[in-house]
Amino acid sequence: MFIAMNHFKVANGKEDEFERAWRERQTYLDGVAGFVEFALLKADAAGEYISHSVWKDRAAFVDWTNSEAFVKGHRQGSLMGVLEGAPHVSTYEAIIVETAEGRTAGAR
């Protein structure tokens, strides 16, 4: 499992606009090979958000970043004036995965 997180700092008072932009955008993730799950997370700290995507593996994520679906999903309007700066991307390889059913076999 591979996880990619984009960290956003939203300008004070622009939170509703930021959330609306995410709700209204087309994701183009349907049918993307290796895509597992997406969540937009809002922190307790004011203006902090994370887009969190889960992928089968790193290769699936990299393939998506090189795909037409990625290009389409990222050309939908600008968040200029809504963000305090550029988002920061972090990526993670899952070492242990545990669900309600137990620990996932094959996790490193």
Task: Decide: pTM greater than 0.75.
Answer: yes
Contact predicate 52/38, CB 8 Å: yes
Average pLDDT, the chain: 89
Compute and round to an integer the Cα radius of gyration of the chain.
Answer: 15
CA distance 21 to 86: 16
CA distance 103 to 88: 30
Contact predicate 10/19, CB 8 Å: no
Structure confidence by residue, pLDDT tens digits, 2-16: 999 999 999 999 999
Structure confidence by residue, pLDDT tens digits, 18-39: 999 999 888 889 889 999 999 9
CA distance 11 to 108: 39
CA distance 64 to 27: 12
Strand-pair partners of 92: 3
